[in-house]
Amino acid sequence: MLNNGPITAASLISSDPDPFKWRMGVKPLELANWLLLDEQRSNELEEIGQLIDRYRDNIIYCEPSATQACEELAAEVLEHLRHLPGLASIDIDKRPASLIEAIRRIVQEDVCVLEKRPSGWTMTACAVAIPTQWDVASKFGKTLDTIHEPVPRYDSDLSQTMSTFFDRLRPEKPVWRANRTLTDDPSLRLEPKRRHQPMRDDVTVNNVADQVWLRVEYQTLRRLARSDAIIFTIRILRQTIRSVADHPEALGELLRSVSRLPADVRDYKDSTARHAELIKEWALSTGTITKQSLQKH
């Protein structure tokens, strides 16, 4: 999928296990696809800069132990960006107080640094300006298990597997995975309350295709060779349901997966589950998908 054309939100839709189970869903990452560049770069970076100025204490975090990892990360980021069109002489701005902030100001990705501690893999630095409905500051300095506390079934489906996976991740074998959300808010930064807030009451079956966005978090994981830290990047990709519907197979897969979510996960992904109902009604009424295709495995 990543080798065939541009990486878009719709291109990253894949099927969930049936019956439902959270899965790691990691795939090998080609380093060329680590940090993505698109035509939105300068607009997005301007907005990111403003968000950092306004909400710095809720976006930027760095413990002293993460300094070496941030220096190694900065070098990797520059090496990556300098190979991209128009960025040959890009550099880190020395003005921001922390290196992780300076890094965030030149990439379209949110970035987390994890270090192994006796209590588990811990987020010791981050620059997360555009979260998808999660409370960033509450995760500062926390382990993967604590970070994922709000996620139902995390303990049974993921905790142990993830811990082993992080221990074994090798610098030469980076990976990527994707998470998806349906939202009626096209903003880059989504506040946590949006997860449960009632849908805007003006979203109907008639306008859902243009008023609801598929928002995919394209996530990558890389272990750094010298500092031994793990870098987690999150790139937000968004497209309206109308443009997702240009790929009926992908839309069908998305709707099938959301309709199979068990009650506790459906509750956690509240707005996604409710938007999916309207999208299904729209897609069936326009013939974009058929009832049979929704039952397919």
Binding site for ligand HEM (CB under 6 A): 22, 24, 26, 112, 114, 123, 134, 139, 147-148, 150-151, 158, 162, 177, 179, 232, 269
Minimum CB distance to ligand HEM smaller for 52 or for 147: 147
Minimum CB distance to ligand HEM smaller for 47 or for 270: 270
Minimum CB distance to ligand HEM smaller for 55 or for 134: 134
Minimum CB distance to ligand HEM smaller for 52 or for 112: 112
Q: How far is the CB of 175 from ligand HEM (least distance, A)?
A: 7
The number of CA neighbours under 13 Å toward the Cβ of 180 is 28
Question: Cα(272)–Cα(25) distance, rounded to whole angstroms?
Answer: 20
Residue found by looking up tokens 């070496």 in the block: 68
Q: How far is the CB of 74 from ligand HEM (least distance, A)?
A: 19
Q: How far is the CB of 120 from ligand HEM (least distance, A)?
A: 11
- 265, 270, 276, 279 alpha-carbon torsion, rounded to 10°: 180
Q: Residue 180 phi/psi, 5° resolution?
A: -135, 150
Would you give the DSSP letter of residue 137? G
- CB contact set of 265 (below 8 Å; sequence gap of 6+): 20, 152, 153
CA angle, residues 150, 156, 157, in degrees to nearest 5:
85
Question: Cα(104)–Cα(93) distance, rounded to whole angstroms?
Answer: 10
Question: Cα(224)–Cα(202) distance, rounded to whole angstroms?
Answer: 47
Determine the length of the chain: 297
Minimum CB distance to ligand HEM smaller for 151 or for 205: 151
Minimum CB distance to ligand HEM smaller for 98 or for 179: 179
Q: How far is CA 163 from the centre of its chain?
A: 19
Q: How far is the CB of 90 from ligand HEM (least distance, A)?
A: 26
Question: Cα(252)–Cα(269) distance, rounded to whole angstroms?
Answer: 18
Minimum CB distance to ligand HEM smaller for 7 or for 114: 114
Q: How far is the CB of 178 from ligand HEM (least distance, A)?
A: 10
Q: How far is the CB of 256 from ligand HEM (least distance, A)?
A: 16
The type of residue at 210 is D
Q: How far is the CB of 292 from ligand HEM (least distance, A)?
A: 27
